[in-house]
Structure 1
């Protein structure tokens, strides 16, 4: 797999030829005005039944291949989907590469190239089927890839509503996402702006049961956060002090989608401050305890929260959407 710089250089080079030829950094809170209105009525699970009947099989196979190539692919694709939906709605704007550098993913260190490549691979696989070519939006491919990332990691299977169109705009200034040091009030403010309740936010946070985070996202807690388990803090200090580009897993089973994330919080081994606060704040502790004791309940509530997430800011042709031929560039 290409590294981050290699992936960026590749997409920017391709852009030039066309012209001649776990969470984000910003800490400000959003308003619903930044997220386009939903068009849920346009979505249905059989949207491509006649135009691309093998769509889900194609995406499933492609994601499986990406996961075999890199264990980072599944959590990276899942995180990418959340970042997309939470900024401009689920319109694949996160995939857009602007030649001037003004786009959503630039310099966002929590987004890994493996996530982008998973989507690009799936898009190429879909378009290799003559019946499907240029008929399936990147936004829908992202939604399916997120589901497959969960399911193929051992998590719940769920039906994905389809029929999104791709947006044409991506700007860095439009990125408003939770920060790794958010407290519960800040988390609730952000997610309520997207239409989520506190319990739904806690369920959605369970996506952190797979994947890892780079040291800059949690290193500030080491030695200064009295809540963090001392042994865990010492382990993290050894990891980060020996390599500035190091990372740590978000829970002990980083490639398995389960409820270990919540069990970790109970013993003060939450990696991110915004995760550990779900247990340290008594207002959300009961939900963490519930998911710790009942993985089935977590799976059910996670599916409901993901289905709600998928409906945010859906684009249609009438609202300026399109089906991108290349997920990285508007047509």
Structure 2
């Protein structure tokens, strides 16, 4: 009897195995974390949302890129130990933080922005609002301020007293990663393939460094483009002028991950992928990978239906924010300074 080894069957079997494995892992480690609530600060700090929103308005007005910085900080925080503010901890003699991990060291900014929000909240209601909750609220407000959707933010997280440099390198997807590897990292966090594609849509804002897209533009970029589209040809020439094939100095050069509306949260990112113009390999894999039947269908859906994208992004951001650190509920704290544990 012949065995069907088509990419669709292989993909389906691999995805089924990955899903089963991570579902089992989640059930084994489910500790019944205390639920997050929408009114957690109703009595202790009733103005928390207004304070964060005001600070984010100032930050995004001064530099629209701050919106992307806030979303990225929240994402990188939640993928390591859960959403516990560990990403904000500085290195000390006794603690190695996550900021200098290979996936973070050149891609994360906005730490001073979070410091300002924390200082404002410490003046308003000292010792009440956790840095983990600040990251979650700030990410939501950042998206709204550049045209994206609104969602309710459950609150009540505690700040961890630990960080994990190793997990930061291990858990966070990298720019040149393949599709199955990225899917496995999302499944590990309890996030589905649909969540992965929707959350990747956050790349409709923000910038990428030459170091992270050099391999793509001198690799298979031309293979994914429409060879008959002169605009696409001009685009790759522009990217190569920003990022020459060699030279460490150029590695710091940046370009928008969405070349149409880089400062607006919309669905043009998905339209770019359909044209084969994804800047990062990990982005273009969603549409061009031979194993990407499900992800390709979702890219097409969100490219033509912005409301569907906005709704799924909102739902997926709530799921992301609900990845909790069970240890932080037992031994966590509300940091006075987001960069250091309390003494």
1:318/1:138 CA distance change after superposition, 3 Å = closer
Post-superposition CA distance 1:103-154 (Å, at most 9, x none): 10115234333x212211111111121xx11111000011000001111111
- Counterpart selection for 1:276 from 277, 280, 284: 284
* RMSD (Å), alpha carbons: 2.2
1:213 Cα deviation from its structure 2 partner: 0.7
- Partner in structure 2 of residue 250 of structure 1: 257
- Partner in structure 1 of residue 224 of structure 2: 227
1:230 Cα deviation from its structure 2 partner: 3.8
- Partner in structure 2 of residue 62 of structure 1: 55
1:120/1:236 CA distance change after superposition, 3 Å = same
Unaligned runs of 5+ in 1: 1-29
- Partner in structure 2 of residue 91 of structure 1: 84
Please state whether the residue corresponding to 1:128 is helix, strand or coil.
helix
Q: Could you list the runs of 4 or more consecutive aligned residues of structure 1 that deviate by over 6 angstroms after TM superposition? A: none
What is the CA–CA distance in structure 1 between the aligned matches of 2:136 and 2:194, rounded to whole Å? Answer: 22
- Partner in structure 2 of residue 121 of structure 1: 116
1:84 Cα deviation from its structure 2 partner: 0.3
Post-superposition CA distance 1:236-270 (Å, at most 9, x none): 11012384421010102111110011011011110
- Partner in structure 1 of residue 228 of structure 2: none
Say whether residues 1:237 and 2:240 are aligned partners.
yes
1:37/1:91 CA distance change after superposition, 3 Å = farther
- Partner in structure 1 of residue 301 of structure 2: 290
1:313 Cα deviation from its structure 2 partner: 2.1
- Partner in structure 1 of residue 100 of structure 2: 106
Please state whether the residue corresponding to 1:68 is helix, strand or coil.
helix
Counterpart mapping for 1:29-40 below 5 A: none
- Give the TM-score, by structure 2 length: 0.82
What is the CA–CA distance in structure 2 between the aligned matches of 1:91 and 1:280, rounded to whole Å? Answer: 34
Post-superposition CA distance 1:210-254 (Å, at most 9, x none): 101110001112232122554322111101238442101010211
Q: How many residues align?
A: 298
What is the CA–CA distance in structure 1 between the aligned matches of 2:303 and 2:188, rounded to whole Å? Answer: 27
What is the CA–CA distance in structure 1 between the aligned matches of 2:117 and 2:333, rounded to whole Å? Answer: 18
- Does the 8 Å contact 1:39/1:311 carry over to 2? no
